[in-house]
Amino acid sequence: MSGAEVAMVAATGVIVLLSVAWVLRTRRAASAQVARLERAVDEAAGRRAAASVVIQRLGAALEAIPHGVVLCDEQADIIHRNRHAEPFVAARHGDVLVERALVELMHTAVAGEAGVQQLDLYGPPRRTLTMSASPIDDGERSIGAVVVIEDVSEKRRLEAVRRDFVANISHELKTPVGALGLLAETLADEEDQAVARRLAERMQLEATRVGRIIDDLLDLSRIESEEAPIREPVPVHRVLAEAVERVRPTAELRGITIEVPEPSRRLALNGERRQLVSALYNLLENAVKYSDDGATVEISSATDGSWVELAVRDHGIGIPARDLERIFERFYRVDRARARDTGGTGLGLAIVRHVASNHGGDVRVDSHEGEGSTFTLRLPAGPGPVAVREAG
């Protein structure tokens, strides 16, 4: 081999070696690039998984909120709503008004201005909704808005109940307290002993009336606070006996007879004795109060093994149909003039309703004006071998 050939072979070898080296370097660089890409992909997948978890948590949190929540983008297009807001999107009937207000609030909020709007929907059922919209931005520009829809119907109802309660109790106390002041002023200047005695007796009656109002308020407050009273078997005959004994002086004063057939000694209620006696006493007092002198009030008891029904029937003035739905409200009285004469506080039937509710039962009324009324208190039966209908 000549020198030229040797040189050519050597040059070729160098070129091959250089090529191999370049290929190896290229492969290593490509491998490094692939590794970097793989790491970037893994990091992106991790961020996406984390973002997905965050989105799921946010979605679950929005679903847990007891109000309607609607999210929209910068074009005021809805991108998310929780289940409480679903009835107001693509709504029908009365909820169309809500959807219209929702769209207006979203456009206002996207423009950067928060807004609040209240809607009264006359139903049925009648509702009051408060809608609050707030803009969302990234520090530089608007990226959407959130609207919260809250049903404040129950809150408004409770506020009205509280206002009525304060107004009613103020009125109920103002009358006897004012009478006491006037009677005391008259008595201070009265020299006739007979007149002074009558004034003193009237003052005693008014003081008793104030005391009864306060006692009934305390009783109602206690019963309302005991929403889940401690329950135990309470014999029905003892509840009847104690309630009748409490009302007997008032009944005897007016010559009213209370008929109480002896119930089965096996018959029992599952409840709190003091509340049960209070409920039955108030039904009896109400029956006596609205019966004529010398009339009869009847009590009966019955069970089907699961429930006990205590019914109090009178033959008095009865209740007009228009008042039947309201007689269990605090201070509501069908005949206010007669209630003043009998010293009623207007709280007795409210107490009965709360006792029934606390025990998982109910109270019903069947009345016809001029014929009398029957109030039926339905309560859970106590344990015992009462498997057939018992009636007294």
pLDDT digit string (tens) for 98-134? 888 888 999 998 888 899 998 888 767 788 889 999 9
Q: Decide if 333 contacts 346 (C-beta within 8 A).
A: yes
248 has pLDDT over 50: yes
% of residues, the chain, pLDDT over 70:
77
| Predicted local distance difference test score (pLDDT) of residue 388 | 39
Strands lying side by side in the sheet with 68-72 = 78-81, 68-72, 142-151, 127-137, 115-121
CATH 3.30.565.10 placement within the chain: 229-391
Point out the least confidently predicted range of 133-137, 287-291, 333-337: 333-337
Whole-structure pTM value: 0.57
Over residues 208-212, mean pLDDT: 78
Return all residues near 160 (Cβ < 8 A) that are at least 6 apart: none
Rounded to 5°, angle at Cα 175 from 172 and 177: 105
Distance CA(49)–CA(274), nearest Å, equals: 60
Three-state DSSP class for residue 78 = strand
CA distance 106 to 160: 31
pLDDT of residue 24: 62
To the nearest whole number, what is the mean pLDDT of the chain? 79
- pLDDT of amino acid 204: 84
> What is the predicted pLDDT for the residue at 390?
41
What pLDDT score was predicted for residue 387?
A: 38
Which residues in the chain are classed under CATH 1.10.287.130? 155-225
Residue ranges of the chain assigned to CATH 3.30.450.20? 65-151
pLDDT higher than threshold 50 for residue 270: yes
Answer left, alpha or beta for residue 301, where phi above 0 means left and psi between -120 and 50 means alpha. Answer: beta
pLDDT in tens, 212-237: 778 777 777 777 776 667 788 889 99
Q: Is 359 exposed, middle or buried (0-12, 13-18, 19+ CB in 10 A)?
A: buried
Q: pLDDT tens for residues 6-43?
A: 566 556 665 656 565 665 666 666 676 667 776 776 67
How distant, in Å, are the alpha carbons of 35, 67, 272, 281, 307 from that of 268?
81, 44, 12, 17, 10
Structural contact between residues 41 and 120, judged by C-beta atoms closer than 8 angstroms: no
Q: CA of 160: how far to CAs of 117, 118, 153, 157, 163, in Å? A: 21, 17, 11, 5, 5
The residue behind tokens 């009966």 is 300
Q: Say how far apart CA 342 and CA 206 lie, in whole Å.
A: 12
Structure tokens belonging to residue 107: 């456009």
Distance CA 369, CA 373 (A): 8
The CATH fold of domain 155-225: Helix Hairpins (1.10.287)
Q: Count the neighbouring beta carbons within 10 Å of the beta carbon of residue 217.
A: 17
- The CATH number of 229-391 is 3.30.565.10
Query: CA distances (Å), 99 to each of 84, 103, 131, in order?
Result: 13, 6, 11
* CATH fold group of domain 65-151: Beta-Lactamase (3.30.450)
Per-residue pLDDT at 375: 93
pLDDT exceeds 90 at position 207: no
Q: What does 34-76 look like in DSSP terms, one character per residue?
A: HHHHHHHHHHHHHHHHHHHHHHHHHHHHHHHSSSEEEEE-TTS
Query: Nearest-CA neighbor of 209 among 173, 246, 243, 250?
Result: 173
Least confident stretch, 80-84, 310-314, 371-375, 388-392: 388-392
